[in-house]
Amino acid sequence: MEITLQGKTAFIAGGTSGINLGIARAMVREGARVAVLSRSQDKVDAAVAELNDIAGASTTLGFAADVRQGDAVEAAMAEAAEIMGPLDIVVSGAAGNFLAPAEALSSNAFRAVMEIDLLGTFHVMSSAFRHAREGKASFINISAPQASIPFWGQAHVCSAKAGVDMLTKTLALEWGPKGIRVNAIVPGPIANTEGMARLAATPELEEIAKVSVPSRRFGEADEVATAAVYLASDQAAYVNGAIFCVDGGQVVGGATLMQPDVLNMMSS
């Protein structure tokens, strides 16, 4: 079975680093025209240059905008659709994270993650609906294991990602009849990403994170990208409303980070 994205247009929010840049790379390799969005103009410029090198042509678009600002997301997506044509694929991957026990979370800190992860996902999805190819499009939200299992120091992220999963299912229900599939990918701990640098900042915490995964290793960004390419492709035409785990079984293992000795290490 050959999977290709040849001739498709993709818009990737958060697509300038980590998992989302890995998805952008993979989609360019499979023939898609790609636009990326991020808050940092420097990151946007670097990602566009890299993706154009992969494509062998200046086909990638880049936009500097904050997903918390719905008007900015709409303007970027409208421009991308005007230049590249209606959007076949939209990935919402912008996210914020840090470790903090619930009693230490300020209202502003909690709100910031909710706005980036959940409100930002809504902004991307609602704009995508207006610029999608009529009758045939694939939207992908990037979720996290925190959506379904509790993690110490992650009350804000658990709340936001649980919302992302339910938003994904609700949009799949509402937009499926319009030819738009909406799915979510749940990456487990992925090596060489900003998220893991924050959540597993020491060798001890890295080992704890690996033990929480039944496969006993970190994943690779390319493994998440492979899932995204599949969900974006015509081969996944009957996949809608799925929460697609690429986590080495972490969700199956449950909240193994809740042991008292682990809590002591993480809070010290």
pTM above 0.95, yes or no: no
In this structure, the dihedral spanned by the alpha carbons of residues 172, 174, 179 and 181, taken in order and rounded to 10 degrees, is -10
Please choose, from the candidates 249, 187, 255, 193, the residue with its C-alpha nearest in 3D space to the C-alpha of residue 216: 249
At residue 140's C-alpha, the angle toward residues 197 and 3, to 5°, is 105
For the cut 70, the answer to whether the pLDDT of residue 264 exceeds it is no
DSSP character string of 63-86? EE--TT-HHHHHHHHHHHHHHH-S
CA 250 – CA 150 distance, rounded (Å): 12
DSSP character string of 31-46? T-EEEEEES-HHHHHH
pLDDT of 255: 58
For the ranges 96-105, 147-156, 183-192, 252-261, the lowest mean pLDDT is seen at 252-261
Q: Give the Cβ contact number of residue 216 at 10 Å.
A: 10
Please choose, from the candidates 183, 113, 108, the residue with its C-alpha nearest in 3D space to the C-alpha of residue 146: 113
What percent of the chain clears pLDDT 90, i.e. is strictly above it?
76
For the cut 50, the answer to whether the pLDDT of residue 263 exceeds it is no
Q: To which residue do tokens 């421009």 refer?
A: 79
Could you tell me the pLDDT band of residue 194, with boundaries at 50, 70 and 90?
A: confident
Task: Give the total residue count for the chain.
Answer: 268
pLDDT of 152: 85
For the cut 80, the answer to whether the pLDDT of residue 258 exceeds it is no
CA 136 – CA 132 distance, rounded (Å): 8
For the cut 90, the answer to whether the pLDDT of residue 223 exceeds it is yes
What average pLDDT does the segment 220-239 reach? 97
Could you tell me the pLDDT band of residue 36, with boundaries at 50, 70 and 90?
A: very high
